[in-house]
Structure 1
Amino acid sequence: MKIHIKNMVCHRCKLAVENELQQSGYHPQQIELGEVTIEEELNHQQLEALNGRLRHLGFELIDDRKVRLVEKIKNVIIQLVHHSNDTLTVNLSSYLANQLHYDYNYLSNLFSEAEGTTVEKYYISQKIEKVKELLIYDELTLSQIAYRMGYSSVAYLSSQFKKETGLTPSHFKHIKDNKRRNI
């Protein structure tokens, strides 16, 4: 049985969900961001009980097709920005359409309706969160970060960073106590 789970954004999330499923007596076969396949077929009561346990960990079962698709959009973007070393070589719209096998206009409208922001703004905010992380680690120069994150120049990264955070990357790097937002 395939189960869709909201708020799975990292490797630790996958481990937490796997642990919860095993403690509940289920046998996960495959765990991806936002999607788990288990051996068992669960009835409504079992799904509700599992949902309660997952909510306690900050996750939530998703049964609506559109909500699942919005979560998939988020997960594809999170995977691209936070868990991949590849830079985007095509437009974000083409990338999402290829990954999710839907027309980008449909994906964009659905996302905007559900999240109250555009896919592009969500993508930018995720990139800025990754830039914050890289600035805090202090292992790369701003030029290296700009290149790694696919920005055409340090100036463009700096202007987008300031627009999102109100701070320049240099100022952020100096204060380092600015809280990162959760993905």
Structure 2
Amino acid sequence: MELYIKNMVCNRCITAVQNELLKLDLHPIDVQMGIVKLEEEKLDDEKLLILNNHLNALGFELLDKGKSRVIEQIKNLIIEKIFHTEFLEQKVNWSGLISDKIFHEYGYLSSLFSSVEGVTIEQYIIRQKIERVKELLFYDELNLSEIANKLGYSSIAHLSAQFKKVTGQTPSQFKSTRASEGQRKSIDKV
């Protein structure tokens, strides 16, 4: 049986979900961001409700079949590529990547995503990239040139312009005020 779970965005999320499944005496075969495969063929409604309550307490949510699963798959794919890839190519073919992994035409996926999320897939990708830039700036391990290279920006100027458009600050301004509260968002809130 496959379950789709919203708000799984990192390896700690995977561990937390796996632990909850084991506490409820369920038998996960594979746990990935957004998708869990169980040995169980089917869960009764009561068990699903209990699982959902446990997941909700941790900030996760079981998704019903259909459109919400597709949207969560798109988000997980984007997050995985931006946050868990060593270097993004400068010209990522997001439409091809997304449609190949989710097995739907990109036009349909784009329209569905926009209608439910209120932003385009492209805007969501930009927001995620900016959150990754914020993270890298916050920890001060890479300079702006290295960050631009890591995230596939054609230049520091392009990264800076996009950063300012989204945040209202230049990367330098952000870096100098990084001690301020509320500068970064949780990935699932972007």
* TM-score normalized by the length of structure 2: 0.93
Provide the alpha-carbon RMSD of the alignment: 1.0
For residues 158 and 69 of structure 2, the distance between their equivalents in structure 1, rounded to whole angstroms, comes to 33
State the secondary structure of the residue aligned to 1:30.
strand
Alignment of 1:97-136 (within 5 A): 97-136=99-138
2:71 touches 2:113 (CA, 8 Å); kept in 1? yes
Which residue number in structure 2 is paired with residue 176 of structure 1? 178
1:140 aligned partner, one-letter code: L
For residues 95 and 85 of structure 1, the distance between their equivalents in structure 2, rounded to whole angstroms, comes to 17
Change beyond 3 A, Cα 1:127–1:90: closer
1:80 touches 1:86 (CA, 8 Å); kept in 2? no
Which structure's relative contact order is higher, taking Cα pairs within 8 Å and 6+ residues apart?
Answer: 2
How much does 1:101 deviate?
1.7
1:161 touches 1:168 (CA, 8 Å); kept in 2? yes
2:130 touches 2:163 (CA, 8 Å); kept in 1? yes
Listed one character per residue, the Cα deviations across residues 136-157 of structure 1 (whole Å, up to 9, x for unaligned) are: 1111111111011100010010
State the secondary structure of the residue aligned to 2:3.
strand
Which residue number in structure 2 is paired with residue 57 of structure 1? 58
State the secondary structure of the residue aligned to 1:150.
coil
Alignment of 1:143-154 (within 5 A): 143-154=145-156
For residues 74 and 52 of structure 1, the distance between their equivalents in structure 2, rounded to whole angstroms, comes to 23
Which residue number in structure 2 is paired with residue 36 of structure 1? 36
Which residue number in structure 1 is paired with residue 67 of structure 2? 66
How much does 1:30 deviate?
0.2
After the TM superposition, list the runs of 4 or more consecutive aligned residues in structure 1 that deviate by more than 6 angstroms: none
* TM-score normalized by the length of structure 1: 0.97
Identity of aligned residues (%): 51
